[in-house]
Amino acid sequence: MSAIKIHKPEDIGRMRIAGQLAADVLAFAGKHVAEGITTGELDVLCNEFIIAHGAVSATLGYNGFPGAICTSVNNVVCHGIPGSYRLKSGDIVNIDITVNVDGWHGDTSKTFMVGQCTKLAKILVDVAEQAMYTGIDAVKPYGYFGDIGVAIQKFVDRHGFSIVRSYCGHGIGREFHGEPMVLHYDSHEPGLQILPGMFFTVEPMINAGFYKTKVMKDGWTVVTADKSLSAQFEHTVAVTENSVEIMTGSSQWMQV
């Protein structure tokens, strides 16, 4: 990864466009999440939507990744490859969208519930969403990245779940992935200072069981080591001199 990029104020407008399209794709995907659809069919639908709006998927072909979106079902933490799996009632599925619009990236994800889910799944999904917003609330101009992890850790610990440590948020802009690394747990270090002009993601992955993960033989699919459920939500944010803006906000699914 490269050094942390400090963007110009005019770059925020370009990121808004990319972020809004990512949010729109995610909302579009959500309308098609239902019992019986395959993750591969969702992938095709989303890719067609992205292309129809003059953009490209940032994940398709990224280091060899075969999907236009990531679809992570039940105990899959992240990087799930779309394919023949057919969603069924009781599943939870995280759909992760990253689009490239004129060289700028918007990155967002949401965990959807399919049909009748267990009480545990419902609580986990709710906690994962609130953990993301708790982390975003901790982002302050001239604050520190360590504050994000502390806030998320305190919130998640109260609910008895765990936070994945192997994967984290990241800088974004013209690069899909860049510095800084955004930890979602308490590292007991203040970390780097948060400065105006920084763009990055907040995307805690919350497990119902232990925080450890493992990568499957395909080299992409990350699952919980103890086979417990995992849920995740993600937004791209921009730091200005006086505030923090969610680039991937959408009234269709975002809490206001």
Q: How many CA atoms lie within 13 A of 85 on its CB side?
A: 18
Angle at 119 between CA 114 and CA 123, to 5 degrees: 90
* The CA-based dihedral angle spanning residues 156, 159, 164, 167, taken in that order and rounded to the nearest 10 degrees: -40
**229 pLDDT exceeds 90?**
yes
pLDDT tens digit string along 112-139?
999 999 999 999 999 999 999 999 999 9
pLDDT tens digit string along 65-74?
999 999 999 9
User: In the numeric block, which tokens belong to residue 190?
Assistant: 């203040």
Confidence of residue 3 (pLDDT cuts 50, 70, 90): confident
User: In the numeric block, which tokens belong to residue 243?
Assistant: 């505030």
What ranges do the domains of the chain cover?
A: 9-246
CB 248 within 8 A of CB 22: yes
pLDDT tens digit string along 37-89?
999 999 999 999 999 999 999 999 999 999 999 999 999 999 999 999 999 99
Element (H, E) at 106: strand 104-113
The pLDDT of residue 215 is 98
The pLDDT of residue 254 is 40
The pLDDT of residue 256 is 27
Query: For residues 19 and 256, what is the distance between their CA atoms, to the nearest angstrom?
Result: 16
The pLDDT of residue 188 is 95
Look at residue 115 and give its three-state secondary structure: coil
The pLDDT of residue 221 is 98
Q: Which residues contact 78 (CB under 8 A, 6 or more apart)?
A: 70, 72, 94, 96, 167, 205, 222, 232
Query: For residues 49 and 126, what is the distance between their CA atoms, to the nearest angstrom?
Result: 28
Integer-rounded Cα radius of gyration of the chain = 17
β-strands 205-207, 230-232 pairing? antiparallel
Q: Residue 16's closest CA among 245, 252, 174? A: 245
pLDDT tens digit string along 151-176?
999 999 999 999 999 999 999 999 99
pTM above 0.85, yes or no: yes
Query: For residues 61 and 37, what is the distance between their CA atoms, to the nearest angstrom?
Result: 23
**255 pLDDT exceeds 90?**
no
The pLDDT of residue 148 is 98
Confidence of residue 2 (pLDDT cuts 50, 70, 90): low
Query: For residues 50 and 61, what is the distance between their CA atoms, to the nearest angstrom?
Result: 15
Query: For residues 219 and 46, what is the distance between their CA atoms, to the nearest angstrom?
Result: 23
Look at residue 207 and give its three-state secondary structure: strand
**93 pLDDT exceeds 60?**
yes
| Domain 9-246: which CATH number of 3.40.50.300, 3.40.50.10800, 3.90.230.10, 3.40.220.10 | 3.90.230.10
**251 pLDDT exceeds 50?**
no
